[in-house]
């Protein structure tokens, strides 16, 4: 008879990320799916949602145990692995509320901006999807849950449980962005809205909560936006409301970030208001200096005289109370004393790079500062990762306090 292992250090949910385990599988992406189904299962072990993931999760745990015992000559029991995994997924900075008031799903989840806001209001997430591997790691580090991957695959959508209240989705915006190609529905990323449509049609959540770039409203002379609204309203039967809000005027966050928000109510299940009460403007008490770290940062963030544009930077970047922006060949100063819009490509070099002057020189914002300009708390974990990836994650994210203010309005109708 096998005995329980004396140490649990040999067991970790992160083993699924290891190359040896992935090589064992026919499809490498299966390792991530197994990790996703196990973490979703364990997070709901005390509720009925667990049964939706149980069969696949227990199978994945058995496969893991078989791998560990064969490859490392151990004697691990499936229950040992389950208990250690349970400890790992619960040893996190942002657990779901035990006595939750509503549940939701988090599509195109990024690094968890929607989830953080909804949890703050008493919500419990029952399904998450995000295809970017770096964002998945950040999400796992903070919520103890690995998102499922490609939502266009039916096998992924089949893991969505029934009976959730709110569908949240900051669906990919590059297809509609002024900064991008603006191809809209002709772009693969633009067609991902139709995956949301399929999920709404099947599961009929009470509320739909979407976020995208401001330009979605004007793209293709408004035709793209009208198609989207017609699908929600006329085809799916949801009363829709939309508004363009700015983080610096509606969230007390010193970042000039305009985004369009769409809220949709199921006409058959929710009392429909004449107008949805989007949050109004509030006083901005937080300043740039409340977010900028005044300490000396790593040398990698500073510009030196060896940089070809150093003299241009030195000539234009003169105030310590402003976040500037490097635009390929020139410096642009933000006159509103806020950070310019953070973008997904700001860490790739050469364009849309936020710059500041501190006591030690001219430097880029750090990834931590970018996360703070999106309203993430200091306790939010930034896992070991290339800075360029972290910049992308911050630029693609939603502003958490703004999401929370809108969600508060939605939940009045729950």
Task: For residue 70, name the pLDDT band (cuts at 50, 70, 90).
Answer: confident
Residue 6 has pLDDT above 60, yes or no: no
Beta strands in 247-379 (DSSP E): 258-266, 324-327, 330-333, 351-358, 361-364
Give the pLDDT band (50/70/90) at residue 175: low
For 288-382, give the CATH class: alpha beta
**Segments making up each domain of the chain, as ranges:** 13-90, 102-283+396-411, 288-382
Quick one: pLDDT at residue 30?
84
| pLDDT at residue 189 is higher than 70 | no
Apex CA 175: angle with CA 172 and CA 177, to 5°?
A: 95
Confidence tier at 4 by pLDDT (50, 70, 90): very low
Which pLDDT does position 352 carry in this prediction? 79
Highest mean pLDDT out of 79-88, 121-130, 208-217? 121-130
The larger pLDDT score, comparing residue 159 to residue 10, is at 159
Topology alike, domains 102-283+396-411 and 288-382: no
* Superfamily name with CATH number, domain 102-283+396-411: Vaccinia Virus protein VP39 (3.40.50.150)
Name the more confident of 62 and 18.
62
In sequence order, the 6+-apart residues with CB closer than 8 A to the CB of 328 are 350, 351
The predicted structure's pLDDT at residue 71: 85
pLDDT digits (tens, 9 = 90+) for 155-170: 999 999 999 999 999 9
For residue range 27-61, what is the model confidence (pLDDT) as tens digits?
Answer: 667 888 999 999 999 999 888 899 999 999 999 99
Q: How many CA atoms lie within 13 A of 6 on its CB side?
A: 0
Q: How much is the average pLDDT of 275-296?
A: 96
Annotation says 168 is catalytic: no
Section 139-154 average pLDDT: 96
- Inter-CA distances, 304 with 299, 309, 311, 314, 361, Å: 9, 9, 10, 10, 8
Question: pLDDT band at residue 174, thresholds of 50, 70 and 90?
Answer: low
**pLDDT tens figures, 214-257:** 988 888 888 889 989 999 999 999 999 999 999 999 999 999 99
Report which of residues 28 and 337 the model is more confident about: 337
Which of 126, 123, 198, 210 lies closest to 160 in space, CA to CA?
A: 126
Going by the DSSP 8-state scheme, the letter that residue 262 receives in this structure is E
Output the average pLDDT for the chain.
90
HSE, side-chain direction, 13 A CA sphere, residue 72 = 15
Instruction: Compute the distance between CA of residue 29 and CA of residue 25 in angstroms, rounded to an integer.
Output: 9
Q: For residue 146, give the nearest of 138, 158, 155, 157 by alpha carbon.
A: 138
CB-based contacts of 405: which residues, under 8 Å, 6+ apart?
A: 250, 251, 279
pLDDT tier at 143 (50, 70, 90 boundaries)? very high
Question: How do residues 373-412 score in pLDDT, each as one tens digit?
Answer: 999 999 999 999 999 999 999 999 999 999 999 999 999 9
Q: Which member of 173, 339, 370, 385 is catalytic?
A: 173
Cβ atoms of 370 and 355 closer than 8 Å: no
pLDDT for res 28: 62
């Amino acid at each position: 008879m096998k005995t329980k292992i004396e140490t649990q250090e040999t067991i970790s949910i992160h083993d699924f990320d290891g190359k040896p385990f992935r090589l064992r599988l026919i499809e490498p992406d299966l390792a991530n799916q197994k990790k996703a189904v196990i973490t979703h299962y364990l997070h709901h072990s005390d509720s009925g949602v667990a049964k939706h993931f149980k069969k696949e999760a227990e199978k994945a745990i058995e496969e893991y145990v078989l791998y560990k015992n064969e490859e490392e000559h151990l004697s691990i029991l499936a229950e040992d692995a389950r208990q250690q995994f349970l400890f790992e997924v619960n040893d996190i900075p942002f657990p779901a509320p035990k006595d939750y008031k509503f549940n939701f799903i988090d599509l195109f989840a990024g690094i968890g901006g929607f989830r953080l806001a909804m949890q703050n209001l008493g919500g419990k997430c029952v399904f998450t999807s995000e295809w970017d591997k770096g964002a998945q790691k950040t999400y796992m580090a903070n919520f103890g849950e690995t998102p499922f991957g490609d939502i266009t695959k039916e096998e992924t959508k089949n893991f969505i449980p029934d009976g959730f209240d709110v569908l949240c989705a900051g669906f990919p915006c590059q297809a509609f962005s002024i900064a991008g190609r603006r191809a809209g529905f002709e772009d693969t990323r633009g067609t991902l809205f139709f995956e949301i449509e399929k999920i709404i049609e099947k599961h009929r959540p009470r509320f739909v909560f979407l976020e995208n770039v401001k330009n979605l409203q004007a793209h293709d002379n408004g035709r793209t936006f009208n198609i989207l609204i017609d699908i929600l309203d006329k085809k799916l039967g949801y009363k829709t409301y939309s508004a363009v809000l700015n983080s610096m005027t509606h969230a007390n966050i010193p970042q000039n970030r305009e985004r369009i928000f769409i809220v949709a109510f199921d006409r058959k299940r929710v009392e429909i208001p004449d107008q949805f009460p989007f949050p109004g403007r509030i006083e901005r008490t937080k300043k740039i200096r409340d977010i900028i770290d005044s300490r000396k940062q790593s040398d990698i963030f500073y510009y030196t005289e060896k940089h070809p544009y150093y003299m241009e930077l030195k000539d234009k970047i003169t105030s310590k109370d402003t976040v500037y922006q490097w635009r390929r060949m020139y410096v642009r100063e933000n006159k509103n004393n806020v950070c310019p819009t953070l973008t997904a490509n700001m860490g790739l070099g050469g364009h849309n790079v936020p710059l500041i002057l501190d006591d030690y020189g001219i430097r880029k914002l750090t990834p931590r500062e970018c996360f703070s300009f999106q309203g993430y708390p200091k306790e939010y974990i930034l896992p070991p990762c290339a800075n360029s990836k972290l910049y992308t994650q911050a630029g693609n994210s939603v502003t958490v306090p703004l999401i929370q203010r809108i969600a508060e309005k939605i939940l009045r109708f729950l």
